[in-house]
Structure 1
Amino acid sequence: MKNTFLAFLAILFLFSCANSSEEKTPELSINYKKIELENGLDVIFHVDKSDPVVAVELMVHVGSAREIEGRTGFAHLFEHLLFLESENLGKGGLDKMSARIGGSGANGSTSRDRTNYLQTVPKDALEKMIWAEADKLGYFINTVTEPVLAKEKQVVKNEKRQGVDNRPYGHNQYVIGKNLYPKDHPYNWQVIGSLEDLQNATLQDVKNFFNKWYVPNNATLVLSGDLDIEQATKWVKKYFDEIPKGEEIAPLEKRSGFVKETKKLYYEDNFARVPQLTMVWPTVESYHKDAYALDVLSEYLTDGKSAPMNQVLIDDLKLTSFTGMFSRNSELAGEIQLSIRAFNNKKLDEVLAGVEKAFAKFEAEGISEKDLKRIKAGQETNFYRSLSSVLGKGTNLASYNTYTGNPGFVTEDIKNTLGVTTQDVMRVYNTYIKNQNYIATSFVPKNSKELALDGSILADVVEEKIVVGAEESFDPKITATYTKTPSSFNRSEEPPYGKTPSLAVPKVYENTLENGLKIYGIENDEVPLVRFNLTIDGGQLLESMDKLGVANLTAELLNKGTKNKTVKELEEAIQELGASIFVYSDKESITISGTTLAKNYTKTLALAEEMLLEPRFDEKEFSLLKKATVTSLRQQEANPNAVARNTYNELIYGKENMRSKNTLGTISSVKSITIEDVKSFYNNYISPSVAKLLVVGAISEENITASLNDLNEKWKAKKVTIPEYKTPDAPTKPVVYFYDIPNAKQSVLQFGAPALAATDKDFYPASVMNYILGGGGFASRLTQELREGKGYTYGIRSNFSGTKAKGAFTISSGVRSNVTLESAQAVKKILEDYPETFSDKDLETTKSFLIKSNARAFETAGAKLRMLSNISNYNMKADYVSEREKVVKNMTTDRIKELANNYVNPSKMIWLVVGDAETQLERMKELGYGEPILLNKTQEKIKN
């Protein structure tokens, strides 16, 4: 080892308190130790003993920017390949081990500039993870064979279909990249790559890529959590030291995008229902001094009521309900993007004129010190949120080390963020946007070219053809044969577990106010934040069928000002505290959710109380909300996933059951709702008698109770009776339904039946049964067969969705169109075989995962809030996790068989396919469940 050093980061709250009476926020320090192995691997350790878990992250300095034209998508392909197998972990690799050790699930991501692999595990599995990560880096590439490569190509191509080809506006970033960056620029192509490049990749191409980039001197390993640095260092040296160093890798030069003259492009999008304008300007790379001011500029121009874009485009011109701008800064270059999805049939030239008017407004007025301060306050809170888990801290350390060579660069990063001035914001606007050339894309619905910007030229987008049997075939059962890479010790022997961590259930306090409001809380001071959810039972269940969507509109309108504060004043009051408060509605409740620095909790709660008890009910805002909701509903009409979700709910619950309805309502119902309907809903149903407050964070029970005195006095209880809607029984025979979406590149599958409520005695046991079937990610049979075995899908899952009412058992996936039938047949066979083929080994894996994963069950504030939600919703005991452990330990294969026969019987299910009827409808007869029922008229085929 060389260059060993120990560093302690002191990151100060550099914002002054709102007033002198507020106590000062204590200093937060992040400790880390960094070592460099002789082979060049950077290793960083961070100790955090607040939970018995460790996050392990391997970050490799290779993304799509290190690829070459014609061989794009390789970096992302490797993100997939490295989970599959290595010489010593064997088939299933890290995914298989993750299930046994109770990990969060091995995961990863690829960007333009890096690929990372990450997972949080119980601390007793740390040596196993170090062993596995070393195997990934040094003992992997021999396991990649032609069949493995062929199958994973299909998985990645399915991911592209799901995330790009089958999604509204999915091709937009592709068009931008091709036109913002020259052909030889490494940001010219997308991270996902092209289907053609992936298909053309040879085994030797793949091996060459790995051998060049996946070397220790191009990687950073971070271990963050409850660990002993001395012991962890010995393990790292043992498993990583003999992996050879690679060739020296020179850094790529910084190189911005270039737009010689403003370029306008359009594309008629098969899945778009309203037109969208995106404008993009080239800017600077990450950590450039101007990147920080560009972040502020993008937020100021489009975030909130006072934002110039929103004042002009939303309030004045009423062209849209939302504007969005973000500064995307990567290692080599950056861009700033402005995107506006206009209302139905609006011409984008009108939108562009509005943008220019908003820019003129900004030029005349600039940004005030007050606005700059509130934006920085939000950045402060977001910074602490990013450090609220050991994985978050680990990712930050890995990123700074990868891009700057210094894990402690966070201090400089924060300093640069807080150092932005109003002059800086105006300077970067004048430098990068004002009078500068840009790329403008107009994505419009099919046959609506007239909505695009005048002078736009057709964008070059390659659409995949749907051809049955077109994909390359492969045999996933072929075992790779190779000579194992030599090692100084037997690496095939998996390291033992360490000492088993004890299950530490957070202490929960409960209370009830005189007005009936129930309080559930957990005190936790790992970071100086408080999160709370004030949940009022009812939600859409309290609506009438002719006013569908009124609960959603009520919740949304509560965000829009108070009796004494305009929308702008309310937003500014929240932002000045660095807080977030938002109200939302779902099927069973309306929730006010807040996040705040602990020092600002009292003021944040006061604003939430004002929103709850003194709504503004602004007519103008109500009108805008209705238009925005109608626009969302129009977009859902052509979004295959939204269509599948809405259609499936109607099939499960029946059209007369409120649980079958879209929480947004329908276009006709939303148009018919008046502000008096909203006031009536609010006055009748917003009551503490059906409400609870869940609180997690750096605040005591005593301070929480004291803070609620005002709410207790002012919020008067009323009787609220929530209707009960009986969920139908499972069907007595299978029925196949088909919903046509022409040209769909994937079919969305939703298979299932009514099953259980969360309060039923079988609910948790059934969830245990489902782990190996479809709930266990890569441990599940559905994933192993349809993704890993056949390459039909990017992902498939199954779950029980019950709440206080009986919910459904559902299998859901997006599969490539030309294997729609084959996918359904594979699912059918798995379900038929499951009760008889569930083995003792399956049971052992299930028990190991569900028991060991409890070590990380309460690490984050979100996890603690979910725990409180379970306790409050379903009358569970505070230690219900311990009770569930007993269920798992007592589970048998006979009980699994019984549960599977009762709740996942394929011959008593609804089988819904949302896809291209012209090519797939007739084929579904072969499933053997009768004539498919077409739910909508077959639409006219749109020519690509």
Structure 2
Amino acid sequence: MFKQTITTILVAGMIGCASSPSTETEVTEGVSLVEVVEQQDDKLVIPYKKYVLDNGLTVILHEDNSDPLVHVDVTYHVGSGREDIGKSGFAHFFEHMMFQGSENVADEQHFKIISEAGGTLNGTTNSDRTNYFETAPSNQLEKMLWLESDRMGFLLDAVTQKKFEVQRETVKNERGQRVDNRPYGRLGERVAQALYPEGHPYSWPVIGYMEDLNRANVNDVKKFFLRWYGPNNATLTIGGDIDEEQTLEWVKKYFGSIPRGPEVKDPKPATVELDEDRYISLEDNVSLPLLYMAYPTVSRLHADEAPLDVLASIIGQGKTSILYKNLVKNGVAVQSSVSHGCKELACEFVLYALPNPMSGKGLADLEATIRDSFAEFEKRGVKADDIERVKASIKSQLIYGLQSVSGKVSQLAANQTFEGDPNLIQKELERYENVTEADVMRVYEKYVKDQHAVIMSVVPKGMKAMVAHEDTWTPSERHIPEYEEVTEADLDIRVAKDDFDRSVMPEAGDNPTIKVPEIWRSELSNGIDVLGAINEETPTTAISLRIKTGSANDPLNKIGLASITASMLNEATENYSNEELSNILQKLGSSVSISAGEQYTQLTIQSLTENLDRTLQIANEKLRAPKFDPADFKRIKEQTIEGIKSAAKQPSVVASNVYQKLLFGTDNAFAHPTSGSIETVSNITLEDVKNFYNTYYTPAISSIVAVSDLEKDVLSTKLKRFSSWEGGEVEQAEIKPFPELQKAIYFVDKPGAAQSEIRIGKRALPYDATGEYYRVNLMNYNLGGAFNSRININLREDKGYTYGARSGFRGSEDYGYFIASAGVRTDATDKSIIEFLNEMKAYHNSGMTEAELEFMRNSLGQRDARDYETPRQKLGFLGQIMAYNLDEDYVDEQSDILQSIELEELNALAQKHLTLDDMIIVVVGDKASVMPGLEKLGYDIIEVDAEGNKL
């Protein structure tokens, strides 16, 4: 048995003991109270009240008054797993359609209304559920409920053939961007096709097959909606700064009249078994081959799920794992991992690895090593340390997930949807608490040892010989039932009847008081400035130690040096091995990582406060006593080079890299990718790393920002651990003159690319919190800064050219730029550029309207309520103040500017900064397909390679 148990965590506002009425209690006509979970005893739960409306809608209310926010989530128990054969993608398609307006909400207004209210919103679909959610200031709650209820009960009359066709194109663009144009993007759907029998709900991709959507008509999707989107198949979860009585009254008003849908039964898990190993393969636009092995196991919350999670950790998660030792540490693979992903009906025990070309090993060798590692695990067995490590990780993840109201609401909603019980957090802890060494060995022998798997090889195009094994399984042709057209007469329309005028949008309540974090300052004895804030909502601490050095200080022939130096500090130290450090941190439930960007290197620390002292000891060890082991350096250098090769296969990365280099010139290191190029990384030696560390890692250019439930004096005392760190000032790299921009289209050929990546822009202003830089971003908001901006509405919603288009100004301390960007359909590349230019030209000439000015003021003026909720957000706020030496009340000055700035000033800024003649255009796409259209645009076309060099 394991030796150590999970410590019980006492979290104010989250401790509770469920006490349920013995029978449902009607609290008002049409609404029954089902369950109450209150703050009591020592159980880790989220307090809530659970109600059911007469129409079957489950309502969960969670009160959290720590921030003036409300999060609303509507989860429907329908995902791709409930689609019919030949009609895949409908659930995901409705995720799009539900944002297109309803009977009382005009087209494109859902995003506009929530954005104008200072909120944010989205929707997601997976195999088992679809959810829609908004976070907004608490005075907007009634409006949010009105919106959600209107699309639940009053959607179908607004679903037109035109909207259907536009969103069908948008889904195709999303597939192009996320699947077809992404390396390894089709891996998941190919594995699912082989792992699950034909017709199994998980055998097709969530996004669907495009031929199925092409075959469908608007009535097909209406029928799908009527089957699954009734209130009796939904959970409405509301959390945050709410008045429960008033909230329940609004819920009854807006949702109570919506008729029930057809009855829905929970799906039943079906055991998936393979009679032999199924080897499959895919040639893809990748730089490295990949081996992927998937074993079918159990289903979500099955008794064996927890021990299988522990098994996955032991075999392949982190630097303590067997696969890390056998594949990554010795340089055989650049990456490997194991996971046990669970869905409602089935789980998969997955292993993957990418070989290191320097090792001379291929996919067949990786498979052999993985199988040998299984045998090693059998001999090694399960240790108490293994189980303690996983349990601590689970515990910390659950607590970190409670730092935002959205995290808590999402947890409640998911638990209710799949288990009918929102109160599962403590049970989750107990599931892992009760796992034994024998349990882990038992599930290994039952689900992995001598069991069959789907084994997939993804190899570069034209390199079929690199597969681990020749294919032994091929998919049969899809058996699609004969299509039967759905007509209006086939639709069983449900009509809600209200006693109020639903077409009138509710007014917002009084604006809530925004709680900007109260800041404290101190200084360590070695001169490090400390900026802190208290966050008492969870017993956690987040710290960022920032060193003012990054890739901007790299020598031009050794770009990537700052990044590799930071990576080396994540490896062994003088006193601990990689494995020991990883083991300690996992058992603490902490993370300590070092990373380098353009201007800063950051040491980021996240810890449960009860374990902060030990976590800070490890952080200090990593920062001040790196071992700089030659073996670690060799491995990191090889991994970096392979990462660069992989990035060069991603059109979006190539487009951004080329754009940056064209703007700021090859003579400035910050204009290059922080990872460097194959050539520059090849030049880097271990001695270079040591010299960079000794030169730039110094307290003289460092600062600390921290957010914790600890008081200033207590945390300041703990941070004194860094006081003995010594070092003097260093010179920063000189910024070289920027190149003269030649108005042209710079084109990178990506043969066969499923989409084209577009970047349009120019150099612009450096960052200024309250100056012209702040003002130009106000100006840009309606052009390309919001979802319902002119650019996105045009290219995505009106034309269906893209999954998303945007524009904005970006700035650092010394330089900045303007950029408009999108990934677009290949056949719409030239048309998309025309629309981008037309929108910017019109904005330059005429500026924004009075209505747009009002929208921008409302939207940006209220969204501050969302800016300081979580420790991570507070840390970002403090970091901004520290990095740019801002006054603590700079946000008040920004608010004054926002409310007082006039239309004339904003439009003058548009005329000044949106000058098309100063802008360059970068396009990455398939030359054969797009070049004829580009040549008609009247621009010079300059072909460049993936690093921006002229061909």
1:703 aligns with 2:719: no
Question: What is aligned with 1:76?
Answer: 92
C-alpha contact 2:258 2:496 (8 A) present in aligned 1 = no
Question: What is aligned with 2:755?
Answer: 746
- Offset, 1:485: 6.2
1:213 aligns with 2:224: no
* CA gap 1:844/1:702 in 2 versus in 1, 3 angstroms: same
Please provide the CA RMSD for this pair.
1.9
Rounded Cα–Cα distance in structure 1 between residues aligned with 2:723 and 2:234: 55
Question: What is aligned with 2:859?
Answer: 849
Give the secondary structure class of the aligned counterpart of 2:174.
helix
The residue type equivalent to 1:823 in the other structure is S
The residue type equivalent to 2:183 in the other structure is P
The residue type equivalent to 2:879 in the other structure is S
Question: What is aligned with 2:46?
Answer: 30
Question: What is aligned with 1:22?
Answer: none
Question: What is aligned with 1:789?
Answer: 798
- Offset, 1:808: 1.2
1:451 aligns with 2:462: no
Question: What is aligned with 2:552?
Answer: 541
Rounded Cα–Cα distance in structure 1 between residues aligned with 2:849 and 2:679: 52
Question: What is aligned with 1:226?
Answer: 241
Q: Which moved more, 1:844-853 or 1:410-419?
A: 410-419
* CA gap 1:632/1:458 in 2 versus in 1, 3 angstroms: farther
1:203 aligns with 2:218: yes
* CA gap 1:558/1:937 in 2 versus in 1, 3 angstroms: closer
1:865 aligns with 2:875: yes
Q: Which moved more, 1:283-292 or 1:634-643?
A: 634-643
- Offset, 1:341: 1.4
Q: Deviations over 1:757-782 (max 9, x none)?
A: 11372111111111111111x22111
Q: Which moved more, 1:596-605 or 1:55-64?
A: 596-605
- Offset, 1:710: 3.1
The residue type equivalent to 1:281 in the other structure is Y
C-alpha contact 1:124 1:500 (8 A) present in aligned 2 = yes
1:251 aligns with 2:280: no
C-alpha contact 1:520 1:695 (8 A) present in aligned 2 = yes
Aligned match for 1:924, one of 927, 934, 951: 934
Question: What is aligned with 1:350?
Answer: 365
The residue type equivalent to 1:208 in the other structure is K
- Offset, 1:666: 1.4
Give the secondary structure class of the aligned counterpart of 2:268.
coil
1:239 aligns with 2:282: no
Q: Deviations over 1:360-399 (max 9, x none)?
A: 1111102211121022111111101111111110010000
Rounded Cα–Cα distance in structure 1 between residues aligned with 2:500 and 2:133: 26
Q: Deviations over 1:195-232 (max 9, x none)?
A: 11111121110110000100000000011000010000
Rounded Cα–Cα distance in structure 2 between residues aligned with 1:28 and 1:439: 39
C-alpha contact 2:556 2:668 (8 A) present in aligned 1 = no
Rounded Cα–Cα distance in structure 1 between residues aligned with 2:737 and 2:472: 52
Kindly report which structure 2 residues correspond to 1:429-440, keeping only aligned pairs within 5 A, or say none: 429-440=444-455
The residue type equivalent to 1:518 in the other structure is D
1:309 aligns with 2:309: no
* CA gap 1:10/1:451 in 2 versus in 1, 3 angstroms: farther
Rounded Cα–Cα distance in structure 2 between residues aligned with 1:99 and 1:709: 43
Rounded Cα–Cα distance in structure 2 between residues aligned with 1:584 and 1:34: 44
The residue type equivalent to 2:204 in the other structure is W
C-alpha contact 1:266 1:459 (8 A) present in aligned 2 = no
Kindly report which structure 2 residues correspond to 1:610-621, keeping only aligned pairs within 5 A, or say none: 610-621=621-632
- Offset, 1:134: 0.5
C-alpha contact 2:745 2:940 (8 A) present in aligned 1 = yes
Rounded Cα–Cα distance in structure 1 between residues aligned with 2:774 and 2:739: 19
Q: Deviations over 1:809-865 (max 9, x none)?
A: 111110011100000000000000013051000000000001111122211112111
C-alpha contact 1:730 1:755 (8 A) present in aligned 2 = no
Give the secondary structure class of the aligned counterpart of 1:564.
coil
C-alpha contact 1:380 1:578 (8 A) present in aligned 2 = yes
* CA gap 1:862/1:89 in 2 versus in 1, 3 angstroms: same
* CA gap 1:877/1:730 in 2 versus in 1, 3 angstroms: farther
Rounded Cα–Cα distance in structure 2 between residues aligned with 1:648 and 1:637: 14
1:51 aligns with 2:67: yes
Q: Which moved more, 1:87-96 or 1:339-348?
A: 339-348
Give the secondary structure class of the aligned counterpart of 2:449.
coil
* CA gap 1:837/1:770 in 2 versus in 1, 3 angstroms: closer
1:884 aligns with 2:894: yes
The residue type equivalent to 2:368 in the other structure is A
Rounded Cα–Cα distance in structure 2 between residues aligned with 1:346 and 1:452: 12
Question: What is aligned with 1:641?
Answer: 652
C-alpha contact 1:659 1:725 (8 A) present in aligned 2 = no
C-alpha contact 2:566 2:595 (8 A) present in aligned 1 = yes
The residue type equivalent to 1:315 in the other structure is K
Question: What is aligned with 2:672?
Answer: 661
Rounded Cα–Cα distance in structure 2 between residues aligned with 1:2 and 1:890: 46
The residue type equivalent to 1:116 in the other structure is N
The residue type equivalent to 2:759 in the other structure is Q
How many correspondences in the alignment? 899
Rounded Cα–Cα distance in structure 2 between residues aligned with 1:823 and 1:568: 50
Give the secondary structure class of the aligned counterpart of 1:220.
strand
C-alpha contact 1:828 1:906 (8 A) present in aligned 2 = yes
Question: What is aligned with 1:465?
Answer: none
- Offset, 1:446: 1.1
C-alpha contact 1:9 1:408 (8 A) present in aligned 2 = no
Question: What is aligned with 2:395?
Answer: 380
C-alpha contact 1:268 1:444 (8 A) present in aligned 2 = yes
Rounded Cα–Cα distance in structure 2 between residues aligned with 1:121 and 1:287: 32
Question: What is aligned with 1:804?
Answer: 813
Aligned match for 1:933, one of 921, 933, 942: 942
Rounded Cα–Cα distance in structure 1 between residues aligned with 2:616 and 2:31: 51
- Offset, 1:734: 2.7
Unaligned runs of 5+ in 1: 13-25, 463-481, 939-944
Rounded Cα–Cα distance in structure 1 between residues aligned with 2:889 and 2:874: 12
- Offset, 1:484: 9.0
Rounded Cα–Cα distance in structure 2 between residues aligned with 1:558 and 1:873: 23
The percentage of aligned residue pairs carrying the same residue is 35
1:670 aligns with 2:681: yes
Question: What is aligned with 1:368?
Answer: 383
* CA gap 1:651/1:459 in 2 versus in 1, 3 angstroms: farther
Q: Deviations over 1:519-541 (max 9, x none)?
A: 11111110111111111111112
Q: Which moved more, 1:27-36 or 1:596-605?
A: 27-36
C-alpha contact 2:58 2:236 (8 A) present in aligned 1 = yes
C-alpha contact 2:33 2:50 (8 A) present in aligned 1 = yes
C-alpha contact 1:400 1:408 (8 A) present in aligned 2 = yes
* CA gap 1:234/1:171 in 2 versus in 1, 3 angstroms: same
Rounded Cα–Cα distance in structure 1 between residues aligned with 2:676 and 2:567: 13
Question: What is aligned with 1:5?
Answer: 34
Q: Deviations over 1:449-499 (max 9, x none)?
A: 11101222586699xxxxxxxxxxxxxxxxxxx999653221010111112
- Offset, 1:797: 1.5
Rounded Cα–Cα distance in structure 2 between residues aligned with 1:28 and 1:298: 25
Unaligned runs of 5+ in 2: 1-29, 478-492
Rounded Cα–Cα distance in structure 2 between residues aligned with 1:814 and 1:834: 22
Q: Deviations over 1:535-566 (max 9, x none)?
A: 11111122111211111111001011211111
Question: What is aligned with 1:141?
Answer: 156
Give the secondary structure class of the aligned counterpart of 2:616.
helix
1:552 aligns with 2:566: no
Aligned match for 2:611, one of 580, 585, 600: 600
Question: What is aligned with 2:774?
Answer: 764
C-alpha contact 1:528 1:698 (8 A) present in aligned 2 = yes
C-alpha contact 1:310 1:323 (8 A) present in aligned 2 = yes
Question: What is aligned with 2:784?
Answer: 774
1:724 aligns with 2:738: no
1:338 aligns with 2:336: no
TM-score (norm 1): 0.93
Q: Deviations over 1:771-810 (max 9, x none)?
A: 111111x221111100011110001111222111212111
Rounded Cα–Cα distance in structure 2 between residues aligned with 1:122 and 1:115: 24
- Offset, 1:154: 0.5
Give the secondary structure class of the aligned counterpart of 2:424.
helix
- Offset, 1:111: 0.7
Rounded Cα–Cα distance in structure 2 between residues aligned with 1:178 and 1:231: 49
Give the secondary structure class of the aligned counterpart of 2:583.
helix
